[in-house]
Amino acid sequence: MDLRLDGKTAIVTGASRGIGLAIARRLAEAGAQVMLSSRKPAALEEAAAELAGLDGDVAWYAAHAGDPDQASACIAATLERFGSLDILVNNAATNPHFGPMLEIDRAQAMKTVEVNQLGVLGWCQAAYRAAFEQHGGAIVNIASIGGLGPEPGIGWYNVTKAAVIHLTRQLAFELAPGVRVNALAPGLVRTHFARALWEPHEAGVSAQIPLRRIGEPDDIGSAALFLVSDAASWITGAVLAVDGGATSRPSGGVG
């Protein structure tokens, strides 16, 4: 199974910590040149220093994931620095509201859509026009198992992740055969972003997962490496749940 990415260049959004940083590490370990992107330069500089010395060269460019002009600028900087772009990982996301969906205000709702849904589309458009249209490529969008069904507290966030799942399948159809587009749907992962969902009651949450633990960022990083590699060359339009078996649990309904 060929999981090497020597000679390939990748952009990972939301890459300064958590799942994005873990994905970037896996890609660089496999030999890819990686451009890290997120909003805060200081966090990116620290992340790049953490990944220094891996097989692939690592650089960074600060960009707001929901701003299409900044996405295009990051892609241009990547092409200038590395001379190519072969892989895009759309990981950046936001969730400004926690609680019943009917209580979210319009500004919070629009911010979530801007980053989680329109942001993914904008980066895909910019990458395709700048590189993938001519040379092909691989895209991985980070969705969520929350996009597969209802869940308390983060309903609107999950609506945008459901949109990412359909966007992935639609783009896989439209961009084939030159560009493969797949999605990862993580379950509960030990990140700062998700800490409110696991930190207060990790033991109880883990007991409800068939593999008896919450996820680690590296679990998602390894899955992303597989999907962008030649080992997955006949996979497009797929949504891979990486959730310790959480979505395999019985629903509890009565037939």
The Cα–Cα gap between 35 and 126 comes to: 15
For residue 81, what are its two tokens? 């620095």
Neighbours of 53 (CB within 10 A): 8
Write down the catalytic residue from 157, 160, 179, 197.
157
Distance set, CA 102 to CA 105, 109, 141, 155, 161 (Å): 8, 10, 27, 9, 18
128 is catalytic: no
Spell out the residues 6+ positions from residue 4 whose beta carbon is closer than 8 angstroms to its own. Answer: 30, 31, 229
| Cβ–Cβ < 8 Å for 120, 108 | no
Query: So which residues are the catalytic ones?
Result: 157
